[in-house]
Amino acid sequence: MPIQFDAENRVFKLDSASTSYLLQIGPFDYLLHLYYGAKIPDTDLGYLAYTCRHASVCPRVTMDEPYFSKDLHRMEYSCNGCGDFRGSALSILRASGTADTDIKYVSHRISRGKPRLPGQPATYAAEDEADTLELLCRDEVSGAEVTLFYTVFANHGAMTRHTVVRNASEQPMELQRVMSTCVDFHDARDMDFIHLWGNWGRERTPERAPLLHGTQSVASKRGCSSHAHNPFVALCSHDATEESGDAYGFHLVYSGNFLASAEMDSDGGARVLLGINPEGFLWRLEPGESFCTPEAVMVYSDQGLGGMSRILHRLYRNNLCRGPWKNRERPILVNNWEATYFDFDEKKLYELAKTAADLGIEMLVMDDGWFGARNSERAGLGDWYVNENKLRGGLGRLTERINALGLKFGIWFEPEMVSRDSELFRRHPDWALQAPGRQMSIARHQYVLDMSRADVRDYLFGCMKQVLDHANIAYVKWDFNRSLTEVGSALLEAGRQQEVFHRYVLGLYELLERLLTAYPDLLLEGCASGGGRFDPAMLYYSPQIWTSDDTDAIERLDIQYGTSLCYPVSSMGAHVSACPNHQVRRTTPLKTRGDVALSGTFGYELDLGKLTDEEKEEVRRQCADYHKYYNVIHNGDLYRLISPWKDRARCAWSFVSPDRREALVTYVVMRGGVYERHYLRLCGLDPTLRYRVESSGQVLSGAALMNAGLCIPENLRDFTSRIIHLKAVD
């Protein structure tokens, strides 16, 4: 059984194929953390508990127990104000006005499968894929009942956690802080802390530093997961590489404000906390009401950062993404944005579609500017009706003509926003987030709609339905182009305004769920000024997310490489764009742009009519390669071979099919040298098999390719690339 209870030692043991997680009902019925790491057979690990006398500054529960202190022991779910002075997972403000919180074990339940999280995205599993442990705890003084949920994915090396707090008292209480997961490590002095930082156009850059005494944390209070930080952190051993060493990954399935922290205490232990950011959060629970946290994903690998990444990739592809596009081959698209910006009509779109069809592209996406009085970013958001001065004959007629060319049709929406200059804002100014007496901040000439309101969501769904019901639309790009400010709701009383950030996110999820229920075959792509809301929660609704507005192939090496630390390639929106690049003005070969974009969902972001005949042939080849290599790229295992940050000269990665009989290698030179030789050691192959290199016909063993390496017999220049395809021979 993946989950066992050793009644004699009062130990819970949660096993996957490669990991074990142990916790114990300790003294006074407090839950203690014992172990998380590589799989072990033992259940009696009580010897790991703190057994030394401690200083008087560390409070005891009673005078009769000299060894137990919540400030020193590894607590399974830490609480505030009752003797544990490290970061708290739970803090409840009682009706008395005090925030002392103290939970103890009451009972447990072990079941097959995985429960759904009410109103929130989460991983899912069939009964034979996962098992779940529920630990019911209680704070006898406040009356709070706290249930800790643990789900083990036996075949993935992954587990998930979330927490439900119920007010079982007769008085209201307020949650100040409620984390999704808390993990205490016994000794973290040899560990590094990794997170993903960034900004617009440079999202998800890994940063690694030794874990220090005190607290290292990343967070967002922007109302979204953000360009600046991702809701992901990792701890790894100092010696961890891509393919060896211990690596722990912690990821929050949430699209709003988050906090991820690692705190090393004085004796070298460390506490990891992950959940909703407590800043700007206070949630009232009336008697009988419950609050459910977002889900946290936890993985461990003894095969380095690459092993950690591959566990997350498989879990997200198989047990987070859903719907028909989870496994279906996605269409190659061309988006008109960089080709036309706001300056388009039905004639320009049709001409773009005709060229696309001739080149093997499968879908035209009409971006911003098709609705209301939207001829620039200054007006029109919220007025979601077709501008027939631009699209004469209407959207239905245009989609029919595009479909007749053999192309699908897609469309851009930004439902959560409203322009100051719009019919909607003039009619309903109270529908925008705002604080009484405070001037509303403006960004991109727009405000943010209050997604916590049902009437706002009803309006948006009605507008989208009107469009989708009257045109054959296969794809929607859902954009989000500014952060939340002056976060107040006209419908909520003063005592609940600190709930708006979270209620906003729940409202977003409700609208997304409603849309996909009504249009189950719709392919949804997430976007937030590029990659500003690239998080696991959005993958639950949109199996692909626009990775960054920076489409330069060389910049994308950094962005896509960093994103792959926790997200599968199948989720990364990646397009071939125009040169000189519109963001950084760099000129790169069309082949390189295609090779880099191929490691993503793949498409085009340029004016196809401006291509030369030679470039059009290259596009045809790229489209053919997309279909040829789709399975190994989107369903294979990713191996990061050379980091783009290693020497800023080259970058390489590969995909290996699940049966290890096929591999695809991408090699990009950022800065070439004089008479430079290029060797590349591969990973993940079967050492006993022999592989034919498609381009040369050379046959080499997997052992030779992984140990001696692959030779690229060319003096490659700046910004050039090669794709190398290998298949096993019998």
- Per the annotation, the verdict on 29 as an active-site residue is no
In three-state form (DSSP H/G/I as H, E/B as E, the rest C), the secondary structure along 244-293 is CECEEEEEEECCCCEEEEEEECCCCCEEEEEEECCCCCCEEECCCCEEEC
pLDDT beyond 90 at 593: yes
pLDDT above 70 (res 297): yes
* Cβ–Cβ < 8 Å for 191, 185: yes
> pLDDT value at position 675?
65
**Residue 63 pLDDT greater than 60, yes or no:** no
**Interval 366-395 mean pLDDT:** 96
Q: CA–CA separation, 185 vs 638, rounded Å?
A: 29
Poorest-pLDDT segment among 155-164, 609-618, 708-717:
708-717
289 versus 95: the higher-pLDDT residue is 289
What pairs with residue 271 in β-bridges?
Answer: 184, 263
Is the pLDDT reported for residue 68 higher than 80?
no
Catalytic residue among 450, 479, 625, 637: 479
Q: Supply the pLDDT for residue 320.
A: 98
Q: Which of 358, 349, 337, 470 lies closest to 402, judged by CA? A: 349
Is residue 630's pLDDT more than 60? yes
Q: What is the mean pLDDT of residues 585-590?
A: 96
Per-residue pLDDT tens digits for 211-237: 999 999 999 999 999 999 999 999 999
pLDDT tops 60 at residue 53: no
625 belongs to the catalytic site: no
Structure tokens at 246: 């211990």
- pLDDT digit string, tens, across residues 261-284: 999 998 899 999 999 999 999 999
pLDDT value of position 411: 98
Tell me the per-residue pLDDT of 543-583, one tens digit each, with 9 for 90 and over: 999 999 999 999 999 999 999 999 999 999 999 999 999 99
State residue 54's pLDDT score: 58
Q: How confident is the model over 475-531, as pLDDT tens digits?
A: 999 999 999 999 999 999 999 999 999 999 999 999 999 999 999 999 999 999 999
The confidence score (pLDDT) of residue 677 equals 76
Checking if the pLDDT of 37 tops 70, the result is yes
The architecture (CATH level 2) of 3-319 comes to Distorted Sandwich (2.70)
Calculate what percentage of the chain has a pLDDT beyond 90: 90
Q: In sequence order, which residues have a C-beta less than 8 Å from that of residue 654 and are 6 or more positions away?
A: 638, 639, 641, 663, 664, 665, 666, 682, 683, 684
pLDDT > 70: what percent of the chain? 97
Q: How far is Cα 69 from Cα 73, in angstroms, rounded to an integer? A: 6
d(CA 672, CA 681): 19
Per-residue pLDDT tens for 144-198?
999 999 999 988 889 999 999 999 999 999 999 999 999 999 999 999 999 999 9
Whether cis (ω within 30° of 0) applies to the bond prior to 118 is no
Closest Cα partner for 268 from 191, 194, 207? 191
> Counting beta carbons within 10 angstroms of the beta carbon of residue 612, is it exposed (0 to 12), middle (13 to 18) or buried (19 or more)?
exposed
DSSP 191-220: EEEEEEEEETTEEEEEEEEE--BEEEEEEE
- Band of residue 715 on the pLDDT scale cut at 50, 70, 90: confident
Residue 49 has pLDDT above 90, yes or no: no
Q: Return the higher-pLDDT residue of 648 and 681.
A: 681
**Domain boundaries, given as residue ranges, for the chain:** 3-319, 332-546, 641-729
Q: What CATH number belongs to 641-729?
A: 2.60.40.1180
Is the confidence at residue 72, as pLDDT, over 80?
A: no
pLDDT at 472: 98
Query: Is the confidence at residue 55, as pLDDT, over 60?
Result: no
The confidence score (pLDDT) of residue 50 equals: 62
* Active-site option among 421, 549, 550, 625: 549
Mean pLDDT of 660-673: 94
pTM over 0.85: yes
Q: Are strands 90-93 and 173-185 parallel, antiparallel or unpaired?
A: antiparallel
Q: Which fold has domain 332-546?
A: TIM Barrel (3.20.20)
CB neighbours of residue 698 within 10 Å: 12
pLDDT band at 58 (very low <50, low <70, confident <90, very high): low
pLDDT at 431 over 80: yes
